[in-house]
């Protein structure tokens, strides 16, 4: 056979070899991605854990806003120890301060006419859960490790003071001047104001969880959750129930 006849055959072989190499690489990536954990972020409602794939989840400006960040594993990790390779340690966690390096962060931005504005939110972890039978795990996931977190966007300091001053005025109008006088010193006590004026700043927010692994963590892949959009709706003032002698209304999702 002449050299002219060999050349097309060699080219076809080379093309086939290249396609095989590319297919192998793509298949390897797909296999790796298939077993890569997935990080989720949702808000806990009476009906269950909700995300915001279609529209923002409405929540009250009063009461607790309960979040859950979960790591969904598609293989079964080793047995958890504490501390261990599955721990989720949240940065700026007021509920469980840790001396260990954090590997989970929840970023919060406010959405409005000015665009996306970073917000100094507050977080307080309330516990961990999960396992192979966890009811909120993703389809085909075999194991979940989740952390529950209370989330708050406090009023700005000037708004807190104005709200507390309004509360004192309401007490005086209700004939409780002595009680208002006893509470007046709290107006200049920042820590006490934060304890008393428990209200979230209404508005549209977007939250995103980010996982950045520590060297000893089971998963070494950096992960980012789908955005969670919340619409914090004004449902009342923090002191309305106090003035009426009622229990505070339940907060959270509508």
DSSP result, 54-74: SSPEEEESSS-EEEEEEEEES
H or E element at residue 15 = helix 3-34
Residues 8 and 105 in one domain: no
Same domain, 27 and 41: no
Q: Are residues 50 and 22 in the same domain?
A: no
Same domain, 130 and 222: yes
Q: What is the mean pLDDT of each run of 10 residues along the chain (254 residues)?
A: 46 42 38 73 93 90 94 87 86 84 96 91 93 92 95 92 94 93 91 89 96 94 97 93 80 74
Print the domain residue range for 5.
1-34
Residue 70 has which token pair?
A: 């979960």
Contacts of 123 (CB under 8 A, 6+ apart): 90, 92, 93, 94, 95, 106, 149, 150, 151, 152
41's CB contacts (< 8 A; 6+ apart) are 51, 67, 68, 69, 70, 106, 207, 208, 209, 225, 226, 228
Q: Quick one: 8 and 91 in the same domain? A: no
Q: Decide if 254 is inside a domain.
A: no
Quick one: which H or E segment has residue 27?
Answer: helix 3-34
Question: Based on the domain organization, do 50 and 11 belong to the same domain?
Answer: no
Secondary structure (3-state) at 75: coil
pTM of the complete model: 0.81
| pLDDT for residue 33 | 41
Let me know whether 21 and 136 are in one domain.
no
What's the CATH number where 138 sits? Answer: 2.70.50
17 and 11 Cβ atoms separated by less than 8 Å: no
pLDDT of residue 34: 54
């Amino acid at each position: 056979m002449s050299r002219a006849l060999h050349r097309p055959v060699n080219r076809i072989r080379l093309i086939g070899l290249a396609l095989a190499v590319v297919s192998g690489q793509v298949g390897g990536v797909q296999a790796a991605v298939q077993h890569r954990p997935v990080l989720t972020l949702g808000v806990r409602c009476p009906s269950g854990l909700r995300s915001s794939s279609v529209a923002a989840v409405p929540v009250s400006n009063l009461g607790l806003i309960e979040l859950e960040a979960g790591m969904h594993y598609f293989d079964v990790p080793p047995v958890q120890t504490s501390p261990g390779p599955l721990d989720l340690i949240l940065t700026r966690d007021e509920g469980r301060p840790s001396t260990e390096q954090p590997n989970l962060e929840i970023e919060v931005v406010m959405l409005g006419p000015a665009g996306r504005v970073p917000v100094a939110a507050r977080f307080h972890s309330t516990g961990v859960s999960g396992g192979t039978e966890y009811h909120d795990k993703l389809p085909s996931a075999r194991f979940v490790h989740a952390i529950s977190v209370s989330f708050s966007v406090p009023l700005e300091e000037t708004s807190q003071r104005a709200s507390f001053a309004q509360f004192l005025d309401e007490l005086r109008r209700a004939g409780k001047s002595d009680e208002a006088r006893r509470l007046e010193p709290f107006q200049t006590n920042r820590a006490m104001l934060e304890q008393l004026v428990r209200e979230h700043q209404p508005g549209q927010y977007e939250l995103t969880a980010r996982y950045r692994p520590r060297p000893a963590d089971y998963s070494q892949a950096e992960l980012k959750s789908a955005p969670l959009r919340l619409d914090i709706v004004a449902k009342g003032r923090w002191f309305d129930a106090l003035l009426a002698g009622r229990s505070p209304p339940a907060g959270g999702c509508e």
